[in-house]
């Protein structure tokens, strides 16, 4: 979920990644046995301003070309890195910030209230079910895909939560990215496309401006 040069906060985060043998669990529907409680502590890592240089959040949101009243689910929202930006850029829309870690959900709700983002709603998901309270125009999953168990079944069921014309955007680490999850845990873009096809989705767009991650947008296959 994060990175950049010494002695940045990200290096401490990268050390945590190595210790946990997994990337930041914010943005994951499955904990894989790792606890990410202590949201205030993780916020210093996930929301490190240096992340913006390589994550390019505003370019990502711009590339998604969302309608002003779009309903978006940020699954595995963590401390809200993308959720708060989406809420700010969609004043007439709604953002469901979903996480399965109770402390993250608490933090997301408090952050929405503190920052007066009435269109951002914290949602307590489950590992196999994001518990979305409404149908969605866009599902965003950043550094989450490689955590999902039973991916084919998960995304087949997620199709039912999409509005007509709804999309799923998946951003995750490239196999040769200098940081991120252990390389054995990374899933190349080609495999994501193949798995999503099995789940009933077709690749609609592939954006290539992120230096360390692929950025794939899927639509339900006709």
Q: Are strands 94-99 and 213-220 parallel, antiparallel or unpaired?
A: unpaired
Which residue's structure tokens are 């953002």?
95
Asked if 134 and 101 count as a contact pair (C-beta separation under 8 A), the reply is no
Specify the CATH number for the domain of residue 183. Answer: 3.40.50.150
Q: Which long-range contacts (CB under 8 A, 24 or more apart) does 187-194 make?
A: 187/145, 187/146, 189/214, 189/216, 192/145, 192/216
pLDDT digit string, tens, across residues 3-23: 222 222 233 333 333 333 333
Asked if 127 and 31 count as a contact pair (C-beta separation under 8 A), the reply is yes
Rounded distance, CA 154 to CA 172, Å? 17
Q: Is residue 207 part of a domain?
A: yes
pLDDT at 145: 96
How many independent structural domains does the chain possess? 1
Q: Is residue 186 part of a domain?
A: yes
Peptide bond into 7 cis (omega under 30): yes
Q: What percent of the chain has pLDDT above 70? A: 78
Q: Identify the band that residue 46 occupies on the pLDDT scale cut at 50, 70 and 90.
A: low
b/e 108-119 (16+ beta carbons within 10 angstroms → b): bbebbeeeebeb
Residue 198: which domain range? Answer: 9-220
Q: Is residue 3 part of a domain?
A: no
Rg over CA atoms, the chain: 16
Q: Identify the band that residue 47 occupies on the pLDDT scale cut at 50, 70 and 90.
A: low
pLDDT digit string, tens, across residues 93-142: 999 999 999 999 999 999 999 999 999 999 999 999 999 999 999 999 99
Assessment of whether the complete model's pTM goes beyond 0.85: no
Rounded distance, CA 213 to CA 14, Å? 16
Q: Is residue 2 part of a domain?
A: no
């Amino acid at each position: 979920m994060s990175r950049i040069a010494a002695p940045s906060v990200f290096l401490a985060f990268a050390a945590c990644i190595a210790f946990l043998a997994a990337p930041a669990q914010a943005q994951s529907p499955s904990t894989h046995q790792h606890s990410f409680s202590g949201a205030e502590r993780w916020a210093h890592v996930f929301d490190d301003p240096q992340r913006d240089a390589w994550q390019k959040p505003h370019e990502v949101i711009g590339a998604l070309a969302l309608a002003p009243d779009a309903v978006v689910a940020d699954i595995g929202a963590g401390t809200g890195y993308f959720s708060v930006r989406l809420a700010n850029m969609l004043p007439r829309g709604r953002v469901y910030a979903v996480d399965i870690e109770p402390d993250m959900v608490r933090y997301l709700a408090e952050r929405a209230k503190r920052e007066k983002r009435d269109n951002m709603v914290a949602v307590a998901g489950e590992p196999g079910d994001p518990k979305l309270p409404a149908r969605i125009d866009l599902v965003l999953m950043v550094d989450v895909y490689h955590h999902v168990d039973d991916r084919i079944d998960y995304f087949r069921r997620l199709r039912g939560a999409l509005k007509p014309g709804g999309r799923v955007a998946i951003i995750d680490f490239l196999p040769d990215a200098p940081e991120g999850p252990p390389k054995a845990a990374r899933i190349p873009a080609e495999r994501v496309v193949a798995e999503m096809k099995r789940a009933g989705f077709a690749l609609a767009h592939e954006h290539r401006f992120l230096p360390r991650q692929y950025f794939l947008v899927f639509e339900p296959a006709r």
